[in-house]
Amino acid sequence: MSVWERSKMCFRLADAIERHAEELAQVLTRDQGKPLHGEARFEVSKAAEGFRYAGEQVKWLETSVIPVEAASKRVFSIRQPRGVYAIVTPWNFPYNIPVEYMAPGLAAGNTIVWVPAPTTSVCAVKLMKVLEEADVPPGFINLVTGPGPVVGDEIVGHPNTHAVGFTGSPETGRKIAQRAACKPCLLELGGNGPTVILDDADLDPAASATALGCWLNAGQICCATERILVHERVRDQVVEGLVTSAKGVVLGDPTRAETTMGPLNNEPTAHKNDGHIADALEKGARLLAGGSRQPKLGSPLFYQPTVLVDCKEEMLVNHEESFGPLAPVFTVSDDEEALRLANQCDLGLVSAVFTRDLNRAFKFSERLQTGIVMVNEFTDYWELHIPFGGASGKRSGVGRIGGRQALLEMTDLKTVCFEVGTL
Nearest CA to 312 among 291, 288, 332?
332
Q: Check: CB of residue 290 under 8 Å from CB of residue 302.
A: no
Q: Is 217 left (phi over 0), alpha (psi -120 to 50) or beta?
A: left
Q: Is 376 left (phi over 0), alpha (psi -120 to 50) or beta?
A: left
Q: Check: CB of residue 311 under 8 Å from CB of residue 281.
A: no
Q: Check: CB of residue 189 under 8 Å from CB of residue 340.
A: no
Q: How far is CA 415 from the centre of its chain?
A: 33
Give the phi and the psi of residue 226 in degrees, each rounded to 5: -105, -25
Residues tagged active-site: 188, 222
Dist CA 280 CA 201 (whole Å): 27
Bridging pattern class, strands 194-197 and 227-231? parallel
Q: Check: CB of residue 361 under 8 Å from CB of residue 375.
A: yes
Q: C-alpha angle with apex 374: 369 to 375, nearest 5 degrees? A: 110
